[in-house]
């Protein structure tokens, strides 16, 4: 099983004007480019890694060597799941096929800020197609994320990211002489804790 980011998020998970500038108490735009190109993406990656979620809508592809046996569910990582775009597979003759959604499978998309992983399950009386015995014989393309803009991301997650941005902004070096070196701020971890995905 491998997971590939097919189309990254088109927007930042924090907004400079509405959130970050005020949090950092900046009166000018001087730091905006660095904050938006480095600090916000870094804070987003840290928070997404901590929670194992996708915040802003992005397209992922999950590759499997075969469909699971006995109609078991296919769990899709990076909640919340928005939609499954396609399920493609190499049939026993080695031809790439698209498994039509209508009548063949159901997509379950749990909702809410702390939504669990979504999944795919065959429709009643339907079995998964047979595949050729090759690596990555099945490719499931799906969209995950809370929405297309920062406003769709839960407030507690954004608050944690603001703490991470603030920490990076204040501490421009890995270590400060004469000061204790700390990891991700504990307050940020506590804010993110309820959103962690448990396998």
Q: Are residues 35 and 108 in the same domain?
A: no
**Could you tell me if 130 and 65 lie in one domain?**
yes
Question: Which pLDDT tens digit goes with each residue over 56-108?
Answer: 999 999 999 999 998 899 999 999 999 999 999 999 999 999 999 999 999 99
Say if residue 44 is in the same domain as residue 97: no
Beta bridge partner(s), residue 141: 61, 86
* Final residue of a structural domain among 129, 144, 159: 144
Among residues 110, 127, 144, the one where a domain terminates is 144
Residue 78 φ/ψ region, left for φ over 0, alpha for ψ in the -120 to 50 degree band, beta for the rest: left
Q: What is the CATH number of the domain that holds 32?
A: 1.10.3230
Q: Tell me: do 118 and 175 sit in the same domain.
A: no
CB atoms within 10 A of CB 148: 13
Lowest mean pLDDT of 20-34, 112-126, 181-195, name the range: 181-195
Is the same domain home to 45 and 85?
Answer: no
134 shares a domain with 69: yes
Q: Tell me, yes or no, whether 82 and 130 share the same domain.
A: yes
Same domain, 173 and 129: no
pLDDT digits (tens, 9 = 90+) for 122-172: 999 999 999 999 999 999 999 999 999 999 999 999 999 999 999 888 876
- Domain residue limits at 110: 58-144
In a shared domain, residues 154 and 178: yes
- Distance between CA 124 and CA 137 in Å, rounded? 23
Tell me the whole-structure pTM to 2 decimals: 0.89
Classify residue 143 as exposed, middle or buried by CB count within 10 Å of its CB (0-12, 13-18, 19+): middle
Count of structural domains, the chain: 2
pLDDT tens sequence across 16-53: 999 999 898 988 888 888 899 999 999 999 999 999 99
User: Which H, E and C letters describe 40-79, residue by residue?
Assistant: HHHHHHHHHHHHCCCCECEEEEEEECCCCHHHCCEEECCC
């Amino acid at each position: 099983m491998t997971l590939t980011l097919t189309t990254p998020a088109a927007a930042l998970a924090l907004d400079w004007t509405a959130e970050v500038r005020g949090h950092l108490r900046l009166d000018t735009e001087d730091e905006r480019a660095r904050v938006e190109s480095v600090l916000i993406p870094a804070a987003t990656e840290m928070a997404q890694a901590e929670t194992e979620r996708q915040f802003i809508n992005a397209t992922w592809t999950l590759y499997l060597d075969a469909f699971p046996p006995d109609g078991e569910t296919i769990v899709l990582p990076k909640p919340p799941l928005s939609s499954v775009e396609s399920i493609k597979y190499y049939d026993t003759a080695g031809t790439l096929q698209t498994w039509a959604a209508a009548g063949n499978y159901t997509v379950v998309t749990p909702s809410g800020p702390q939504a669990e992983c979504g999944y795919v399950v065959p429709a009643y009386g339907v079995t998964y197609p047979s595949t050729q015995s090759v690596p990555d014989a099945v490719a499931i393309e799906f969209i995950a994320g809370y929405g297309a803009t920062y406003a769709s991301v839960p407030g507690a997650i954004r608050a944690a990211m603001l703490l991470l941005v603030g920490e990076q902004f204040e501490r421009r070096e890995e270590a400060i002489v004469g000061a204790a070196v700390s990891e991700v701020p504990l307050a940020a971890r506590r804010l993110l804790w309820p959103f962690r995905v448990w396998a």
